[in-house]
Amino acid sequence: MSDSLQPTYDELLARVNELSQSFKEFLTEKKIPLPTFEADSVTRYDGLTAEMFVKRQHLLDSLADLHYLVQGPSESIFNYAHNCMPDVAALDILNQFKFWSAVPLAGTATYADIAKQVNLPEEAVRRVLDHAKTLRIFADAEAGNPDAGVRHSSRSAALAQSPGLQSLVSTIVSDAGPPMTVVPQALAKFSRGKTSLPSGLDQTAFNLFHNGKYANSWDYIENDGEGEEKGWRSRNFTTFMTYLKDIFQLEAIVEGCYDWDAAGDISVVDLGGSAGHDAFVLAKKHPNLTITVQDLPKVQSVFEASVPEELKSRVSFISHDFFKPQPVQADLYLIKMILHDWPDAECISILQALRPSLKPGARIVLIEYVGKHDPVVEEGPQDGAWDSKEGSDVTKTKEPPLPRSIQQMGTSTDLRMLALFSTKERVPSAWKAVISAADERFEIAKFETNPFSFFVIIEVVWRG
């Protein structure tokens, strides 16, 4: 099997055949059911090993390549340009107007029924669903009779059954999507002719799109909406974060990032801890921990509604802006998936704002998203397609080992970060520079990452 960077049609056919067979054999052996397009299908593969996950992603890369070659280069671009915005608009409409619950999971609905439920003209409902059905989101109630109404497909049923998946669509498409459409204009306005990108939050696509109305994306999420609706995006975001915890199995990362049992009776601050999903898991497993969750004010009501009765004496919430001096003296500060949202200057301010409450030996445990990895460089003369010359030494930068479909998790987040915060997904080594720049008394005691993980874990000790 060729590992060529530019595989031919025949190589792809063989590769798809081989990988899809091996994927199916794995599923059969592990008794993992195959999804179908029917509404009662399983919605995900539970039980993939890490190795099989990566193999499956290689299969997806080959299928994507075949999809491009079958269309041909020009048509593949034509089709993509033609469809991508309507695809996104249809998904956003179905999600925002709650089409998922307007059709029964085990039945059918007429267009008139749906129009009534979602409070839109029947014509709009039909037109959106006509496009969605081409994406296998919903299906005709009767094959060949588009007037008979619609039923769920497995893809729409997956959304109907998962508030977490709905919140993901809402956050990524509805909150972050519109600013992404003006990234070209933002680049033209703030970066054309310059040698580096701006680092100010006032020079983002987000800022351009909202015309300066909100300081940043968090301000928008916190304050969009009127009356009781205000803060709905923030409440939705807490569901999104809980969903991410579940699908990426982040509980294991939080559990493994520190020896919680050996720490004894300690106080922990979960900075930007959302509505407490990580704190609840930690506190349940470790009765020695007392945890203060800190986040923006609109998150508090979700925390209060979800904190388990038995944890109330050990897990509490205070609203705290992490750019302001830290009010709680704790033994350990957990900072998970916070700093990657911010440019270097803001990351440094967030870390420095902890200092007033840090006692000598206090720990900061950072769990940060890594969208890209440092290139692997082998010293010495090498042959190969990725050779580059540095001075007189020949070095070989290896091809990144990750399938493109995994790299996209990082590259997409990276562009989203550019649009919203004028920041970028850092490679693991860049985190060391940010921490050192915040204060030389932050000593890095542990630094863990690997190319197949989306996360870096950094334990910092305050030597003040």
Stretch that binds ligand SAM, among 104-112, 187-195, 332-340, 370-378 (CB under 6 A): 332-340
- At closest approach, how far in Å is the CB of 221 from ligand SAM? 7
Stretch that binds ligand SAM, among 183-191, 205-213, 335-343, 448-456 (CB under 6 A): 335-343
- At closest approach, how far in Å is the CB of 395 from ligand SAM? 36
Helical pair 122-134 and 73-96, crossing angle rounded to 10 deg? 140
Strand 289-295 relative to strand 266-271, pairing: parallel
Figure out which of the listed residues 157, 279, 296, 353 binds ligand SAM, where binding follows CB under 6 A: 296
Figure out which of the listed residues 118, 241, 279, 365 binds ligand SAM, where binding follows CB under 6 A: 241
Stretch that binds ligand SAM, among 89-97, 159-167, 291-299, 456-464 (CB under 6 A): 291-299
Q: Which of residues 146-185 bind ligand SAM (CB under 6 A)?
A: none
Residue number, 290 or 349, with CB nearest to ligand SAM: 349
Residue showing the smallest CB distance to ligand SAM in the complex: 272
Figure out which of the listed residues 11, 87, 321, 344 binds ligand SAM, where binding follows CB under 6 A: 321
Stretch that binds ligand SAM, among 132-140, 330-338, 357-365, 426-434 (CB under 6 A): 330-338
Stretch that binds ligand SAM, among 140-148, 200-208, 336-344, 453-461 (CB under 6 A): 336-344
Over the window 252 to 281, marking each residue x when it contacts ligand SAM by CB under 6 A and - when it does not, the resulting string is: --------------------xxx-------
- At closest approach, how far in Å is the CB of 172 from ligand SAM? 12
Stretch that binds ligand SAM, among 142-150, 320-328, 384-392, 408-416 (CB under 6 A): 320-328
Size of the site for ligand SAM (CB under 6 A): 14
Is residue 362 at the binding interface for ligand SAM, with CB under 6 A as the rule?
A: no
- At closest approach, how far in Å is the CB of 219 from ligand SAM? 8
Residue number, 12 or 337, with CB nearest to ligand SAM: 337
Q: Which of residues 29-68 bind ligand SAM (CB under 6 A)?
A: none
- At closest approach, how far in Å is the CB of 220 from ligand SAM? 11
- Residues engaged in binding ligand SAM (CB under 6 A): 218, 241, 272-274, 295-296, 299, 321-323, 336-338
